[in-house]
């Protein structure tokens, strides 16, 4: 058995405290003890559950949540296993204000917070948060909000034990919340493979908090899940991917163009979840390595909570581009050579759409001086994160140095640099950088190597 102290803390006066916490939160003890066959013992600490830690602050970045977790748990760094976990009650999550909850402590730098510190990644899965103002905005009435707050807390604590989302016809604790209403009692259970994993918490670093990074499930990956062949294809929709630059260095900011459309000759409309992003469980990007090994591209972002729907109709496809040169923990392409990329979308449980395949060539590094200048600029940590997330993470000086690459005739991906950097600059508070960002987008749109969707978007943004 593993004994863990669970510290529940209120971050701000802007967040209301759920009734189950005010009542002692013993439901958390009972659920995780029963599911794990008494292998997990949670000792609840509610000393910080009333007086807010951050006064009346509104909205929290991962940095704030990491700092609070560190101060509340005081776990040694790095531990063999964590002694305490934290459940934080806040109002909103700044990177994604509609999020109902988040397990932010994933064991790698997600890249979406300019203040990310490597010290926070040494001991994964020690803290999670629920956002009660976001919950109230979605559920409207207090009884429904209370119901959602309890489910979301159990869901996020499940992530602390490295339990992933699983799409099934019937909901369970690791299902993403529904849009229309909170789940009823029928969803209050763990899948058999999740319960089995919880029962091994005391002996497996893949499960205990402070062990393996989130998503590294070791021997517990996909236990009891049906094989992909058991999933039926969804007739009438097509998923198409393309890459305008097919030969590149691993550090170049390449994108995948994605289009979901109604197949020719089909007159129907389709309602699908609005989650064409590999941060959602319904959408996956796969890479086949030069040696034939296949792996799923791991997004640094993970989305918990209900998703909106989108209508796909004849002549009205959905298009977007996805940055794929990075993934959770580093670069997406780890070796030189030929790679094959494809995508899968599961709009409904057990129904999936598989895209076409795209072959690319990752160039060999360090051959003479070829690409040396570009490599030195693009491989800087803040520069890479700026281009991947299209956020102004790098400083003003570095942003302007990167802008020089958008005009470098020797760099094949100069249009992609200009596109990503232009979008990042438009989000900066500096007006001069905003103007330069618009100019970079207009310039990138003139490059034939830029994808069709990227070109249309770049032109539309630069003209506003």
Query: Which residue, of 341, 362, 383, is where some domain finishes?
Result: 362
Q: In this structure, are 132 and 162 located in the same domain?
A: yes
pLDDT, position 390 = 87
| Mean local confidence (pLDDT), 187-212 | 90
Identify the band that residue 453 occupies on the pLDDT scale cut at 50, 70 and 90: confident
Round to whole Å and give the CA distance between 193 and 199: 10
Counting residues of the chain whose pLDDT is more than 90, the rounded percentage is 43
In a domain? residue 226? no
Better pLDDT: 79 or 188:
188
For 73, 282, 316, the CA distances from 351, given in Å and listed in that order, are: 42, 10, 22
- Between CA 300 and CA 7 the distance in angstroms is 26
Which domain does 243 fall in, by range? Answer: 232-362
Residue that finishes a domain, picked among 362, 395, 412: 362
CA distances from 206 to 3, 161, 192, 214, 328 (A): 16, 8, 17, 8, 17
130-134, 212-216, 227-231, 363-367: segment of lowest average pLDDT: 227-231
Per-residue tokens: 147: 């119901």
Q: Residue 183: is its pLDDT beyond 70?
A: yes
163 and 121 fall within a common domain = yes
Per-chain mean pLDDT for the chain: 86
Is the pLDDT confidence value at 129 over 90? yes
In this structure, of 59-73, 361-375, 421-435, the range with the lowest mean pLDDT score is: 361-375
Q: Tell the residue number behind the tokens 């990329």, with chain if given.
A: 341
Strands 283-288 and 294-296: antiparallel
Q: Quick one: which H or E segment has residue 261?
A: strand 255-262
What pLDDT, on a 0 to 100 scale, did the predictor assign at position 226?
A: 44
Number of structural domains, the chain? 3
Residue 32 has pLDDT above 90, yes or no: yes
**pLDDT of 8 higher than 90:** yes
* Whether residue 238 is found in the same domain as residue 215: no
The string of pLDDT tens digits covering residues 395-428 is 888 888 888 888 888 888 899 999 999 998 988 8
Residues 125 and 30 in one domain: yes
Q: What is the pLDDT of residue 229?
A: 46
Strands 247-248 and 358-362: parallel
Q: Is residue 418 part of a domain?
A: yes
Q: Which of 110-114, 129-133, 139-143, 155-159 has the lowest mean pLDDT?
A: 110-114
Q: Is residue 367 over pLDDT 70?
A: no
Burial class of residue 460 in the structure, from the number of CB atoms within 10 Å of its CB (0-12 exposed, 13-18 middle, 19+ buried): exposed
Residues 340 and 455 in one domain: no
pLDDT the model gives residue 206: 87
- Co-location of 165 and 210 in the same domain: yes
Lowest mean pLDDT among 152-166, 192-206, 360-374: 360-374
Asked if the model's pLDDT at residue 36 lies above 50, the reply is yes
The answer to the question of residue 225 being in a domain is: no
- Do 210 and 79 reside in the same domain of the chain? yes
Contact indicator for 342, 358 with CB cutoff of 8 Å:
yes
Q: Which residues contact 8 (CB under 8 A, 6 or more apart)?
A: 21, 25, 44, 45, 46, 48, 49, 86, 87, 89
Report the pLDDT value the prediction gives residue 350, as an integer from 0 to 100.
74
Please give the structure tokens belonging to residue 297: 């591209």
pLDDT > 70 in the chain, percent: 91
Same domain (yes/no): 172, 257? no
What pLDDT was estimated at residue 388?
Answer: 87
Dist. CA 24–CA 141, nearest whole Å: 22
Q: Same domain for 376 and 357?
A: no
Look at residue 237 and tell me whether its pLDDT is greater than 90: yes
For residue 220, the model assigns a pLDDT of 62
What are the start-end ranges of the E strands in 156-253? 232-233, 237-242, 247-248
- Regarding whether 378 and 323 lie in a shared domain, the answer is no
Residue 227 in domain: no
Residues in the chain: 464
Query: What is the DSSP track for 128-168?
Result: EEEEHHHHHHHH-SHHHHHHHHHHHHHHHHHHHTTPPP---
Is the model's pTM score more than 0.85?
A: no
Model pLDDT, residue 180: 84
Q: Taking the mean position of all CA atoms in its chain, how far away is CA 359?
A: 25
């Amino acid at each position: 058995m593993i004994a863990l102290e669970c510290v529940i803390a209120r971050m701000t006066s802007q967040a209301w405290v759920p009734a189950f916490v005010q009542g002692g939160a013993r439901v958390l003890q009972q659920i995780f003890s029963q599911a794990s066959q008494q292998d997990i013992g949670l000792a609840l600490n509610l000393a910080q559950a009333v007086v807010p830690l951050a006064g009346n602050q509104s909205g929290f970045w991962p940095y704030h949540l990491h700092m609070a977790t560190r101060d509340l748990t005081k776990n040694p760094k790095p531990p063999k296993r964590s002694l305490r976990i934290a459940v934080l009650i806040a109002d909103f999550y700044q990177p994604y204000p509609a999020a109902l909850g988040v397990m932010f402590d994933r064991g790698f730098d997600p890249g979406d917070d300019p203040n990310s510190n490597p010290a926070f990644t040494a001991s994964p899965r020690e803290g999670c948060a629920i956002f009660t103002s976001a919950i109230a905005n979605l559920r409207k009435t207090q009884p429904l909000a209370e119901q959602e707050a309890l489910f979301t807390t159990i869901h996020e604590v499940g992530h602390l034990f490295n339990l992933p989302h699983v799409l099934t016809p019937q909901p369970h604790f690791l299902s993403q919340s529904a849009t229309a209403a909170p789940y009823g009692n029928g969803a209050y259970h763990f899948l058999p493979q999740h319960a089995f994993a919880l029962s091994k918490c005391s002996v497996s670093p893949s499960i205990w908090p402070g062990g393996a990074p989130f998503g590294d499930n070791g021997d517990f990956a996909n236990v009891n899940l049906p094989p992909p062949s058991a999933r039926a294809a969804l007739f009438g929709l097509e998923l198409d991917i393309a890459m305008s630059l097919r030969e590149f260095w691993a550090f170049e900011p390449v994108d995948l163009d994605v289009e979901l459309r109604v197949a020719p000759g089909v007159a129907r409309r389709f309602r699908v979840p609005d989650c064409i992003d590999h941060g959602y469980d319904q959408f996956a990007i796969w890479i086949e390595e030069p040696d034939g090994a296949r792996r799923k591209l791991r997004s640094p972002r993970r989305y918990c909570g209900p998703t909106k729907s989108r209508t796909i109709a004849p002549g009205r496809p959905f298009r977007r581009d996805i940055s794929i040169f990075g993934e959770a923990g580093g670069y997406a392409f780890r070796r030189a050579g030929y790679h094959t990329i494809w995508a899968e979308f599961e709009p409904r449980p057990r129904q999936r759409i598989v895209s076409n395949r795209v072959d690319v060539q990752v160039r060999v590094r360090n051959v003479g001086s070829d690409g040396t200048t570009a490599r030195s600029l693009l491989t800087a940590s803040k520069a890479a994160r700026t281009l991947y997330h299209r956020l102004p993470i790098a400083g003003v000086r570095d942003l302007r140095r990167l802008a020089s690459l958008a005009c470098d005739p020797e760099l094949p991906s100069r249009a992609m640099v200009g596109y990503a950097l232009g979008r990042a600059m438009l989000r900066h508070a500096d007006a001069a950088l905003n103007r330069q960002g618009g100019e970079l987008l207009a310039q990138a749109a003139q490059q034939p190597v830029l994808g069709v969707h990227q070109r249309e978007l770049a032109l539309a943004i630069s003209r506003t």
